[in-house]
């Protein structure tokens, strides 16, 4: 049986996210959100905190030390969330054909590869959605960087030829070959 929910309940379900979910509009007949993925920073004083988006350094809120951010910074990798909530009614669609969909995106909103990213809207969807975010966070930590522009790039699947179904990374912005996933 489909679990029907409204915008307020959906946004409450996203409340566990440390950097929150930014509403980005209503497209394709549904509400969309963007969730930044980043690493929590641990200062020398032991304090753990999330850096502010758009900066390469961060200041500890407890001791005031400033340090360089290593790993993913906020906004470098994000998850785009397609909610299945109708923008006019503010309630999810009644059809069970629509799932909540998550797509990992990088620089300029380009998708960073495909993973199991559909969450069915049956009872317990909130916990399944939370687990999908955890999986996406773990995958984001393993994505390669372009050696030229240093943007995070995703894994793609070769669709034809002798390497059909093999995963590879390439920076489409710089046209730089990164390599095959099974050789890294």
pTM, rounded to two decimals: 0.78
pLDDT in tens, 84-139: 999 999 999 877 567 899 999 887 788 887 666 788 898 899 999 999 988 888 88
What residues does 104 pair with on adjacent strands?
79
Residue 8 has pLDDT above 90, yes or no: yes
Cα-to-chain-centroid distance, residue 130: 12
Sign of CA dihedral 135, 137, 142, 146: positive
Tokens of 21: 């979910």
The terminus-to-terminus CA distance of the chain in angstroms comes to: 43
pLDDT in tens, 33-48: 998 887 677 778 888 8
Domain locations in the chain? 7-38+75-143, 144-184
């Amino acid at each position: 049986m489909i679990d029907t929910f409204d915008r307020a309940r959906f946004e409450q379900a996203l409340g566990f996210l440390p950097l929150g979910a930014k509403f980005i509009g209503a497209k394709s007949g549904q509400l969309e959100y963007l969730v930044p993925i980043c690493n929590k920073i641990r200062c020398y004083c032991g304090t753990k905190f999330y850096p502010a988006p758009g900066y390469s350094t961060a200041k500890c809120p407890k001791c005031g030390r400033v340090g360089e951010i290593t790993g993913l910074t906020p906004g470098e990798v994000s998850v785009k969330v397609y909610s299945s909530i109708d923008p006019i009614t503010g309630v999810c669609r009644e059809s069970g054909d629509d799932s909540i969909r998550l797509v990992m995106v990088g620089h300029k909103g380009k998708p960073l590869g495909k993973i199991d990213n559909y969450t069915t809207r049956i009872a317990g969807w909130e916990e399944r959605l939370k687990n999908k975010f955890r999986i996406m966070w773990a995958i984001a930590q393993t994505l390669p960087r372009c050696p030229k522009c240093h943007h995070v790039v995703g894994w793609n699947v070769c669709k034809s030829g002798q390497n059909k179904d093999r995963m590879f990374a390439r920076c489409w912005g710089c046209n730089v070959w990164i390599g095959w996933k099974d050789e890294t």
